[in-house]
Amino acid sequence: MSGQVRPITLVGTPVLHQPCRTVENFDAALAELADDMFASMYAAEGVGLAANQIGVDLRVFVYDCDDADGRQHKGTVVNPTVDLPELGERRLDEGDEGCLSVPGPYAKLARPDRATCHGFDLQGAPVTIEGTGQLARCLQHETDHLQGKLYIDRLSGRSRKKVLKQYAELRAEAAAEAEGAAADG
């Protein structure tokens, strides 16, 4: 797989906090975007990546993660929607969740343990992905991104503040280390 690694867009950047535009052209530029998204996701050691996480305002995400049975799933979904089990049939999985756009901290976040994602592949053909386990979490997380939501937006106020504080501390440490390395160099 080819593709250029693009920088990951970080929390606070406007494109992450607004709904993305619907994809209308299933063309070579879209395929190139998906290649760049996979390259960027793998470089950042992620399991999913939405287009707005590399600054592109389009409803596209890529994923490469396993389901509850340990089977690996990989793909691209364009213009996705997610269906969740009815409330009476819904089981929540309170797992650790993190985000490449909020690098560093993780937080417990309850999400349904099953999700069905509908959308299109890169040629415009309809696709449906049935997700369980980590794949269900990924489908929900990436679709949230395309609606302008980060996982921290689903946390309680206290948990959200804690994650953002950890993130700020990690960013400050990294900046101090970079400054020290520049002074030594």
Contact 82, 141 (CB under 8 A): no
CA dihedral in degrees (83, 33, 24, 130; nearest 10)?
Answer: -20
The structure tokens 């993305």 sit at 20
- Per the DSSP assignment, residues forming a β-bridge with 60 are 78
CB neighbours of residue 175 within 10 Å: 10
DSSP structural state of residue 22: P
Contact 54, 86 (CB under 8 A): no
Contact 68, 52 (CB under 8 A): no
DSSP structural state of residue 44: T
Which one from 86, 130, 142, 173 is the annotated catalytic residue?
Answer: 142
Whether 142 is a known active-site residue: answer yes
95 membership: H or E segment, kind and range: strand 92-99
Residues annotated as part of the active site? 142
